[in-house]
A and B are shown apart, each in its own frame.
Chain A
């Protein structure tokens, strides 16, 4: 009899911690983040007040809590590439946007990155791109990092492409890239090599101006 009562009470005790966990989760999701003032953001970025307003309205509509976490980010980015799998590239993008590396993108991070990409100088843009490629943030791009990035980009294409994707296409792509960028042939690309090589290429310079009028 006592054993029966004992087992019953044990079961009820186990159930309580899970209820607390649910409450904790609820609290976490209530966290809200508000950006700094409009004037401050305007001075920090190259956007006008009106543009910032439009950007914030869209951002707040999608993320009422004021932050984007990685899963939401991946979901949003994947919707633009329905053919393939955009989650790996979205992961790298997320890390590039999340300048404070705390696992969530706030509006300031979002707007700072957009300001660089759309209104920055070519050097700033190339710097941002270098940061994107440099996954471990050690200041060098080595072949593994580049292969990861290129593979992620090819993943976005999906299976049905013309011509068909071969297994060594990313590798060839990476080899060509290093051929061009790695000036001193030491197997890694530094920021200066990267910026220099890009500035030498007319195509890249020209295409960097393409996205000026996105906003």
Chain B
């Protein structure tokens, strides 16, 4: 609960006087506050800086160091103060948290130091107020990323080789970190050189060289010096194949390696050569073969192993994929719109280039990107008007927002990430708040289940879970409300279970019960009306078994002196009776045997036979509640 709520508890308890004339039962005794009432000023010395605060202020958060008895470990008897050998600047913020209930993050402090202080004082960082939460999370994430990068870089280069590594492991390590050994470095540069040679050869072989003697036509160098180029290509491919096989052999996980991007690039780079070797020199398939040679350009991507920058670019494109996709989609929409318009505008013209809408796509793209090749030109006036609108909007759509889009991308991308995370965190936060709320409700229910209401002697007080005085008083308040209304708090699970058993009981009971109570089955659980019918058949047996058990517990309680602590859920049915005085209790027992006269077809054992309804009319003059144990 919030800090301030504790200060209002006395007022809420005082207001409970308003329930008293209405109360059906007697109120429970209030808890006795054993601690001294007087509020005192505590002295807290943090590395020489003396703070003073009320004891009540610190008691607001009993699950932190300062609010619990843990601070007694730091108490200095001689100087009568609590001494902490910690940062006094940070302590100011911690103490303000107790005073105001909001934890603020000081922007000038190191995030790690702040986290350490919070951990020492037992404060969960989630309590940081909304005003400082974003800053805190950003700094924390930044710090974590920086640390992760550093450790990665460290691990990548400086870790010494494990002593007993197989040659395979050493080979893999040589491939991944060429700086580890000279052999690896040599290999690294050699492959780099051959990639460059291969790419340059691919480029040069298409350049037209001077024709050989006797021929007029210009020949591309690749055909003139075909043997030389073929030898160079073979050498490169041999080296690449050797490298790929070595990597495959050395990889710790071959399947994972084969699926990685770099290995795919390697395969694509060397495949065309082998396919070309295998394929015969046939005119028909040579066309396809030529296409394959295009894939040789992928060898340039092998450079990404050698260049960190290329890798980062690839990663950035991959991460911006969604934004780029959206940009492409909006551009496509504009292109389709204008292409359609231009097509229909130019449809009437004879011999027009705008033969179809897809053909108009080319015009639209060329116009919007302000290229303007001029191979397709509108002739009609409408076409020209729309063409000019297209080019103007192209300027606006592409040229103007490109810088804005680029910067927007990085801003929106980061914002989106933060928003999504915050949404997820908000959900988590709300769930945690709900859990805390449920925690307070559950705390009371748990307390009841542990039988905390009975007057225990001082010796048995230890078995109860330790509760703060605030909890004592709050539970007493809730207990008073229960007594006023003569109903008890339960949780959803037991409520629904109870509804099931009650409804089943009512359906099968033949007893001439009071007609008003028939209404219970409809008003109690209106949602479960359908399920009741289905469960009816299945649960009759279980109900009968349950009722016998309840009766057994009833018998047990009959012999005991006074109210007993509840140990099982079934015993809950007797609770209302248990809270009455003894004389009323016996009156209840006496009245059991009478209803069986109304249920002649009882199939259960005769000893105290299951009644239809148990009337508890003697408890107090107000009680007209009926207690139903069970019925069949």
Within the assembled complex, what's the spacing in Å between the Cα atoms of A174 and B340? Answer: 76
- Smallest beta-carbon distance A158→chain B, Å: 7
Q: Which residues of B contact A215 (CB under 8 A)?
A: 10
- Pick the residue among B22, B38, B440 that contacts A153 (CB under 8 A): B22
Closest chain A residue, CB of each to CB of B37: A215
- Smallest beta-carbon distance B13→chain A, Å: 5
Q: Which residues of B contact A76 (CB under 8 A)?
A: 4-5, 8
Q: B624 and A176: CB pair below 8 A? A: yes
- Smallest beta-carbon distance A177→chain B, Å: 6
Cβ proximity bits B483-506 to A, threshold 8 Å, 1 near / 0 not: 011011111101100110010000
For window 30-69 of A, CB contacts with B under 8 Å fall at 50, 54, 57-59, 61-62
Within the assembled complex, what's the spacing in Å between the Cα atoms of A164 and B494? Answer: 11
Q: Which residues of A contact B437 (CB under 8 A)?
A: 82
B119 at the binding interface (Cβ < 8 Å): no
Within the assembled complex, what's the spacing in Å between the Cα atoms of A41 and B441? Answer: 37
Closest chain B residue, CB of each to CB of A97: B15
Q: Which residues of A contact B572 (CB under 8 A)?
A: 162
Interface residues of B, count at CB 8 A: 70
B1 at the binding interface (Cβ < 8 Å): yes
Q: A160 and B492: CB pair below 8 A? A: yes
Q: B520 and A164: CB pair below 8 A? A: yes
A-side interface mostly? helix
- Smallest beta-carbon distance B573→chain A, Å: 9
Cβ proximity bits A148-171 to B, threshold 8 Å, 1 near / 0 not: 011001101111111111111100
- Smallest beta-carbon distance B95→chain A, Å: 14
Q: A132 and B18: CB pair below 8 A? A: yes
Contact-size category for A:
35 or more
Q: Which residues of B contact A204 (CB under 8 A)?
A: 20-21, 23
- Smallest beta-carbon distance B447→chain A, Å: 14
Cβ proximity bits A177-205 to B, threshold 8 Å, 1 near / 0 not: 10011000000000000100010000110
Max chain A C-beta neighbours (<10 A), residue from B1, B12, B494, B495: B12
Within the assembled complex, what's the spacing in Å between the Cα atoms of A179 and B122? Answer: 56
A118 at the binding interface (Cβ < 8 Å): yes
Q: B495 and A93: CB pair below 8 A? A: no
Q: A160 and B487: CB pair below 8 A? A: no
Q: A79 and B27: CB pair below 8 A? A: no
Within the assembled complex, what's the spacing in Å between the Cα atoms of A3 and B437? Answer: 58
Within the assembled complex, what's the spacing in Å between the Cα atoms of A60 and B92? Answer: 21
Q: A62 and B8: CB pair below 8 A? A: yes
Within the assembled complex, what's the spacing in Å between the Cα atoms of A61 and B54? Answer: 13
Which one, A9-17, A21-29, A206-214, is touching chain B? A206-214
Q: B16 and A157: CB pair below 8 A? A: no
B477 at the binding interface (Cβ < 8 Å): yes
Max chain A C-beta neighbours (<10 A), residue from B11, B38, B481, B628: B11
Within the assembled complex, what's the spacing in Å between the Cα atoms of A172 and B482? Answer: 16
Within the assembled complex, what's the spacing in Å between the Cα atoms of A204 and B483? Answer: 12
Cβ proximity bits B14-55 to A, threshold 8 Å, 1 near / 0 not: 111111111110110110010000110000000000000010
A54-B39, A62-B4, A160-B489 known; A129 vs B29 contact (CB < 8 Å): no
- Pick the residue among A54, A113, A207 that contacts B23 (CB under 8 A): A207
A62-B8, A164-B495, A167-B523 known; A93 vs B621 contact (CB < 8 Å): no
A143 at the binding interface (Cβ < 8 Å): no
Within the assembled complex, what's the spacing in Å between the Cα atoms of A126 and B17? Answer: 9
Q: List 14 A-B contacts (CB under 8 A).
A: A80-B477, A81-B478, A129-B17, A150-B22, A157-B481, A161-B487, A162-B488, A166-B520, A169-B487, A203-B620, A207-B23, A208-B20, A211-B17, A213-B30
* Top 10 A-B pairs, shortest CB-CB distance: A58-B7, A160-B495, A117-B14, A207-B27, A161-B487, A62-B4, A164-B524, A162-B488, A162-B490, A132-B18
